Amino acid sequence: MSENMNKIGIILGSTREGRVSESVGKWLLDQVAKQGDAFYEIVDLRSYPMPFLGQDGNMEAISAWNQKIATLDGFIFITPEYNHSLPAVLKNALDLGDPKVWANKAAGIVSYGSAGGARSSEHLRGILSELQIAHVRTHVLLSLFHDFVDGSQFKPLDIHGKNIAAMTKQLNRWATALRPLRK
């Protein structure tokens, strides 16, 4: 990996039993790995069992989470839509991150739900802005009706490839442009 290449974490925003974010993440990783424009890796919230904000709990997981986020130049958040918003575990992970590890980085969003996860991504954008994360305009919306069989088996349509390429191009440009601010 070239030292000039961005390190982008594909953050799986769900930890539920039976989640599909893992399938979406693996699919996305396969798609972006072909591009060769950055180093992409899956960052699974299940690997960081953090307590909810304000509760006593696993401080080591919070520390490991912050250390992981600090190593990344940008993110692609994979978020389902739960009750017209993002999952509580993803909001909690954003809140438990030290503001310094989030600031001046870039993010893309891949969302899924009955309306493509559009409402989840809109809520996520507001949070990202507060954390000083530059979120790119283009994002990938996956429909439970067209990209999943019976709402659970992930079978994405081919049309998403164009949006993935546009999103990652924007994401990498922003991550590179913000690099001097992170030093």
User: How far is Cα 12 from Cα 26, in angstroms, rounded to an integer?
Assistant: 10
Read off the pLDDT of residues 127-158 as tens digits, 9 standing for 90 and up: 999 999 999 999 999 999 999 998 889 999 99
Enumerate residue ranges in the chain where pLDDT < 70.
1
Domains and CATH numbers, the chain: 6-182 (3.40.50.360)
The b/e string for 140-155 (b: 16+ C-beta within 10 A; e otherwise) is bbbebeebbeeeeebe
Phi then psi dihedrals of residue 105, to 5 deg: -120, 170
